[in-house]
Amino acid sequence: MITQVLGDIWLSRGMKSLSAVNFMHLDLATVISLFIFLFSNFWIWLAVIFLVTSLILYLGAISRLDLSFVLPIHALSYVLNAVFAVLILGEQVPLTRWLGIFAITCGVMLVSITKAKTTMDFSVNSRMVPAFFLPLGLVISKTWLAVFIISFADATGDILMAKGMKQVTNNSDGRIWKTITRVIGNRNILGGVVSQATAFAAMIAALSWADISLIRPASALTYIISMLGAKFILNEKLAKGRLVGISMIALGVLFLAEQ
């Protein structure tokens, strides 16, 4: 959770020194300039180090526990994101945004305190249902369009990597290099990495014009999508407390939508 928050903060700090990125109208010169900026900016590199560390820890967690239990443990990260955004980045966080963050945090904590039990079916013939179904025809701001892309791509990555890591763990003989080879060669994990990379690209674009104290809590939509994926794709059981928590997350996002 801490490495995730610090990665977000450094990423936001790095991207704020760049003008707003519009991925809908990129030419070759702009793409080259963007890549040069990303590969030469100290804060971006620092962010990547923290985020990669966070991903490694996260993969270890979802290899042994339910996805619907692991994800909500990050609840406090929304509060830390806002606090660090104020203290380090000097962002102004209005009352409605604090209310949204509070509601999301309470919702996620409700989800996390319920007992986790793995009930997943990893049969060879089981199929993954893609979660890339964003209604692009809706008339929404570019910030919320980015949030939806981040959330759907992130949730898809969570579901794919959770299934892949469980498969690797169940077939592991304890030898580290064998396990690493299985991780690299697992198509679900690779698909999850691609999805997470898509979410990361959308996050980078959004942080070039929007506050991290808005983008990160709003992307809590990921939890709702991931919970549904855990229920219908990974066959995890969701207690009533988790459903109440999901409702509170949705309420918090509605508060943020007033921004």
Cα–Cα distances (Å) from 239 to 147, 164, 178, 251, in that order, read 27, 24, 36, 19
Number of other residues whose CB lies within 10 A of the CB of residue 94: 12
More confident residue, 160 or 124: 160
CB half-sphere exposure, 63, CA atoms < 13 A: 18
Distance (Å, rounded) from C-alpha 171 to C-alpha 234?
A: 18
Cα separation, 52 vs 9, whole angstroms: 14
pLDDT tens per residue across span 188-233: 999 999 999 999 888 888 888 888 888 888 887 887 888 788 888 8
> Looking at residues 41-64, what average pLDDT do you find?
88
Please give the sequence-ordered ranges of beta strands (E in DSSP) within 146-214, or none if there are none.
Answer: none
In this prediction, residue 3 has a pLDDT band, given cuts at 50, 70 and 90, of very high
pLDDT for res 101: 85
Q: What pLDDT score was predicted for residue 24?
A: 60
Point out the least confidently predicted range of 3-12, 45-54, 216-225. 216-225
Give the CA angle between residues 83, 86, 90 to the nearest 5°. Answer: 160
Which tokens sit at 70?
């692991």
Q: Crossing angle for the helix pair 142-170 and 176-185, nearest 10 degrees?
A: 140
pLDDT digits over 82-139, tens only?
889 999 999 888 888 888 888 887 877 776 565 544 444 434 333 333 333 334 334 4
Question: Can you read off the two tokens belonging to residue 21?
Answer: 């990125």
179, pLDDT greater than 80? no
**pLDDT for position 166:** 82
The residues near 147 (Cβ < 8 Å, ≥ 6 apart) are 206, 215, 218, 219, 221
pLDDT, averaged across the chain:
78
- In one-letter notation, the amino acid at residue 199 is A
Average pLDDT over residues 41-46: 92
DSSP string, 81-103: HHHHHHHTS-----HHHHHHHHH
pLDDT value of residue 45 = 93
| 132: nearest Cα among 159, 153, 101 | 153
- One-letter-per-residue 3-state SS of 145-171: HHHHHHHHHHHHHHHHHHHHHHHHHHC
Q: Which has more confidence, 26 or 5?
A: 5
Residue 157 has pLDDT above 90, yes or no: yes
Amino acid occupying residue 213: S
* Whether the predicted pLDDT of 257 surpasses 70: no
The fraction of the chain above a pLDDT of 90, given in percent, is 17
12-21, 204-213, 237-246: least confident range: 237-246
pLDDT recorded at residue 49: 95
